[in-house]
Amino acid sequence: MQYTIGKVLDAATLDLQRRCPTGARNEAEILVGHVLGIRRADLYAGIDEPVAATQVARLDQMVAARCSGRPLQYITGVQGFRGLTLKVGPGVLVPRPETEMLVQRCLEILEGSDGPLVLDIGTGSGAIALSLATERPDCRVRATEISEDAFRWAGTNLRESGLTNVELHFGDLFSPLPRLEKGKFDLVVSNPPYLSQDVWMNAPAEVREHEPQLALLAGDEGMRTCVKIIDEGAGWLASGGHLVMETAGLEQWENLSMWFGKQFEDVRITDDLAGRPRFVEGRKP
């Protein structure tokens, strides 16, 4: 049998419809493009081009993994984020589009600053830290991570980026940072664990069974890590510095606003791509 790009695309789409009927074609294009090493935009230009049997076998394995619930990004090993191509895999949270908005808000806050010192708490793959360091090359960025697996992924992404204005620190929240930098940060940003136990138990199986619980679950109410960051964050910020966080949304706003109000001024809430309140920030007096 002669395999062509068109035929393997159709076959992969049909198999994937069992798992993701609304996004099957999109995911088939990603997987076929990944196996063939060509851009998705070029697939249809070569729709009748032959595909080797070894490539078909590799594609079949990837489609089977996706149908079993493995995240697409873990299969391809990459995730795009604000123009970056990040390496991801088991043990690290896959960066979401909403977090790109968090980075955008940080850039807006930093406008007009000169050589700001920025801290990313719980960096995961390094998405936030590397984006800020890339888009504001005058930034000096520190990033912390408690998960050994995630720390390795962040280290890989940092090395491949070639950036020299980012430092990674292994440890919990603020604990691994040099004490001499306390009170000197212009911005602290975090996409911390914020899912409650109930939300976690009702999350899609793909998330619960594959992505790291450490990066998602934060106690019965989902507030444990957020509160720690708020309580400690003010001490690491310079006067006028900002704390910006991504959270679960509406169900946490009342409590989060109360905690922010204890140490910060100009507390602000920003919506995500779906129009849901997602980001909270405050300024240290």
What pTM was estimated for this model as a whole? 0.91
- 185 beta partners: 237
Tally of CB atoms within 10 A around 25: 16
- Please identify every stretch of the chain with a pLDDT value under 50, giving residue numbers as ranges: none
pLDDT of residue 168: 98
180: buried, middle or exposed (CB in 10 Å: 19+, 13-18, 0-12)?
A: exposed
Which residues lie closer than 8 Å to 82 by C-beta, 6 or more apart? 100, 103, 127, 131, 134, 135
C-alpha–C-alpha distance, residues 217 and 192, integer Å: 9
Write out the two tokens for 169: 């620190």
Instruction: Give 86-133 pLDDT, tens digit per residue.
Output: 999 999 999 999 999 999 999 999 998 999 999 999 999 999 999 999
Greatest Cα pair distance, the chain, in angstroms, is 71
Give residue 20's pLDDT. 75
Closest by CA position to 97, among listed 278, 218, 281, 282 = 278
Q: How far is residue 58's CA from residue 111's CA, in Å, rounded to a whole number?
A: 47
Query: Pairing relation of β-strands 237-246 and 185-190?
Result: parallel
The predicted pLDDT at position 40 comes to 81
The region, left, alpha or beta by phi > 0 then psi within -120 to 50, assigned to residue 77 is left
| Residue pair 93/125 in contact by the 8 Å Cβ criterion | yes
**Cα(231)–Cα(154) distance, integer angstroms:** 26
**Mean pLDDT score across all residues of the chain:** 89
The CATH homologous superfamily of the domain defined by 78-283: Vaccinia Virus protein VP39 (3.40.50.150)
Angle (deg, nearest 10), helices 53-67 and 5-16: 20
Where does 5-68 sit in CATH, by number? 1.10.8
Domain with CATH 1.10.8 in the chain: 5-68
What does the pLDDT read at residue 178?
Answer: 95
